[in-house]
Amino acid sequence: MMIKFILLFAAASFYFFINTAIAFPEHHPVPGGTVVIELSSADTPQPRAFYKKQKVAVHKYDDAWYAMIGISLNTKPGRYEVNYQFDDKKQYHHSFVIKNKTYKAQYLTVKNKRKVNPTAEDMKRIVKERQIKKAAKNTWSDQTVHSDFIRPVDGRISSIFGLRRFFNQQARRPHSGLDIAAPQGTPVKAIADARVIETGDFFFSGNMIYLDHGQGVISLYAHLYKTHVKPGQLIKQGDIIGEVGETGRVTGPHLHLSLLLNRTAVDPDHWLPAVKAQ
Nearest approach in angstroms of CB 158 to Zn ion is 8
Nearest approach in angstroms of CB 207 to Zn ion is 14
Q: Toward Zn ion, which CB reaches closer, 186 or 215? A: 186
d(CA 138, CA 218): 9
Instruction: Indicate the helix (H) or strand (E) that contains 56.
Output: strand 54-61
d(CA 3, CA 7): 13
d(CA 199, CA 44): 38
Q: Toward Zn ion, which CB reaches closer, 144 or 158? A: 158
CA distances for 58 relative to 36, 63, 243, angstroms = 10, 13, 32
Nearest approach in angstroms of CB 119 to Zn ion is 23
Q: Where are the beta strands (DSSP E) in 127-217?
A: 156-159, 164-167, 170-171, 178-181, 187-189, 194-202, 206-212
Q: Toward Zn ion, which CB reaches closer, 179 or 243? A: 179
Q: Toward Zn ion, which CB reaches closer, 207 or 215? A: 207
Collapsed DSSP state (helix, strand, coil) of residue 121: helix
Q: Toward Zn ion, which CB reaches closer, 51 or 221? A: 221
Q: Toward Zn ion, which CB reaches closer, 40 or 264? A: 264
Nearest approach in angstroms of CB 59 to Zn ion is 27
Q: Are 194 and 235 in contact (CB under 8 A)?
A: yes
- Using Cβ positions, the residue closest to Zn ion within the complex turns out to be 256
Could you list the residues that contact Zn ion (CB under 5 A)?
Answer: 177, 179, 256
Nearest approach in angstroms of CB 205 to Zn ion is 9
d(CA 27, CA 73): 15
Q: Are 51 and 37 in contact (CB under 8 A)?
A: no
